[in-house]
Amino acid sequence: MSPLRVAALEPLSEQNAPEAPGRRGLDALSVGRRIRHHRQARGLTLAQLGEAVGTAQSLLSQVENGKREPRLSLIGAVADALGVPAADLLDPAPPPTRRAALEIELEQAQRSPLFRSLGLPRVSSSRKLPLDALEALVALHAELARRHDASNATPEEARRANTEIRLLLRAVDNHLPEIEEVAEDLVRAAGYTVGALTHRQVARMAHDLGFTIIHVDDLPHSTRTVTDLANGRIYLPPASIPGGHGLRSLALQAIAHRVLGHERPASYTEFLRQRLEINYFAACCLLPRSAAVEFLSAAKADKDLAVEDFRDAFGVTHEAAAHRLTNLLTSHLGIPVHFLRVGDDGALYRGYENDGVPFPQDASGAVEGQTVCRQWTARTVFEVRNRTTENYQYTDTPAGTFWCSSQTGSTEGGGFSITVGVPYAHAKWFRGRDTRVRRRSTCPDAACCRRPDVELERRWADAAWPSARLHAQTLAPLPSGRFPGVDDVEVYEFLASHAPPPGHHLTPPPDPR
């Protein structure tokens, strides 16, 4: 299945798409190696070819080694002397022999900034270098580059990529119509009409793609789901993952990779893009656009929009409903909005805005991991005793006044809050707009909430010696498998243990209808 083109995210592909071996386009080294191939095939020395075209041997040597770009007149003369069309020397297709391709790869690897940073001597890819040695050197350089790329999948790289994605999404109001259309068609084909998407309908969607959903209790620790492409199986855990990943959502995310035509991610940015797309697809299926917009439009007409009603109407988590609002409120109801997931330590884990709310940011513009103002609803909600329903608050900020609704939850890692908010002028459409709770935030001014009380600081500044809690994820490297963050050993051993025995006749998955 060809990849689905999502227009808003195309800049990511253009900036981060890796070059495929043999498809790098025309360059001086490729031209030079083609000249060398045809020269040697005709048994000519550099001196003989130079004499035939009226060019110095040293110049031809530089051309063949890619150190000098030949003029078109020289290309024409060399082609005539070698008895080949000039187009053959300029062809960007893969080199004519395996050795020529390896020689080009080795030369390009040794010209890379990564190799130069090692301070190692270059190895000449002359005919004296045995083919097996050439193979080994190219493989070593490829592995060196892979490990370098894997080491770059650090929190810093993740923040950079997340920031780029967040800005692209803000420009389109977090709405991806291409995925909306695909999801709508699939859920309707599975029998969905209104309300919550059922597990049975999700199973039908998987069946229509040739997959059976199987629940197991021994999934690899580094995975949420595993798909066996050879045997048409999607393995899921036996129960929902704490913090919001329900079984329907997990199954839909696994299905999304097939539906959207994903290929193995070649960069960390591509991995994050795919994760965004599968999460978006799952949300579109669980809260289909047509039914969701109809529900929200009716609530807006009654001036009674509420995350909890939206959540209950479609049988999803509070976070899923809140985040889905960011896809639909602006694009279909004309309401700018912001969303936050904040830990009970004040750290911002997920954030989106197109309404101007001043998110805390680091120097690169990233918001992940930044500390949210103590006066914001996302923090003050932890002070509220009654957390069974949504809590509402107006907050005055340097960027204006915002109305917000927050709800709390918990995972094994601690508590968190989910917040949806809008500018003051749009609070009129929401339940809870009559709240009298109001706070004032002057962040990023340190005097707002990040500077301690003067008297307390005087008393304790030289008397306190706390031991900071280290967040393990800040130091733990990601497993460097074929997919970022996934342990290949665990995954392959898992698939082998669950696969049908050799020679087993595969039958189509049963129709859940």
Extract the tokens encoding 30: 């490729």
Pair 208, 279: CB distance under 8 Å:
no
Do 371 and 347 touch, CB atoms closer than 8 A?
yes
| Structural tokens at position 228 | 């066996």
Phi, psi of 422 (to 5 degrees): -145, 160
What's the pLDDT score for residue 129? 87
Q: Which domain holds residue 360?
A: 294-448
pLDDT at 474: 43
Domain at 415, CATH number: 3.30.450
Given this model, what pLDDT does residue 454 score? 83
Domain-embedded: residue 209: no
Three-state secondary structure readout of 77-105 = HHHHHHCCCHHHHHCCCCCCCHHHHHHHH
DSSP E strand stretches across 23-63: none
The CATH number covering residue 87 comes to 1.10.260.40
Do the domain assignments include residue 505?
Answer: no
- DSSP character string of 478-508: PPBSSSBT--HHHHHHHHHHHSPPTT----P
d(CA 239, CA 366): 33
Kindly state whether residue 415 falls inside one of the protein's structural domains.
Answer: yes
Residue 449, token pair as written in the block:
């909430």
H/E element holding 340?
A: strand 338-343
Q: Which residue has the tokens 């290949």?
A: 488
Is residue 274 one of the residues assigned to a domain?
Answer: no
Cα 191 to Cα 69, 182, 187, 200, 214: the distances in Å are 62, 15, 7, 10, 21
- Residue with the two structure tokens 């803000």: 170
Could you say which DSSP state residue 371 is in? B
Domain count within the chain? 2
- Distance from C-alpha of 355 to C-alpha of 328, rounded to nearest angstrom: 14
**Separation between Cα atoms, residue 493 and residue 487, nearest integer Å:** 10
Verify cis geometry, omega within 30 degrees of 0, for the bond prior to 444: yes
Determine the pLDDT at residue 480.
52
Enumerate residue ranges in the chain where pLDDT < 70: 1, 13-26, 92-94, 148-156, 241-245, 387, 468-485, 487, 503-513
Cβ(66)–Cβ(95) below 8 Å:
no
- Identify whether 337 is part of a domain: yes
The pLDDT, as a whole number, for residue 70 is 84
- Partners of residue 227 on adjacent β-strands: 234
- Domain end: 97, 122, 147, which one? 122
The answer as to whether 150 is a domain residue is no
Q: Quick one: CA dihedral 345, 347, 353, 357, positive or negative?
A: positive
Residue 316 · residue 244 · CB < 8 Å: no
**Residue 263 counted as domain residue:** no
* Domain contains 339: yes
User: Nearest 5°: phi and psi at 277?
Assistant: -65, -40
On whether the CB atoms of residues 359 and 370 are closer than 8 A, the answer is yes
Final residue of a structural domain among 122, 137, 162: 122
Q: What is the pLDDT of residue 506?
A: 56
pLDDT for the residue 92: 67
Segment (H or E) for 12: helix 10-16
> Pick from 182, 197, 153, 198: which is nearest to 478 by CA?
153
Closest listed residue to residue 171, CA positions, set 379, 325, 373, 353: 353
Domain boundary (88, 122, 156) is at: 122
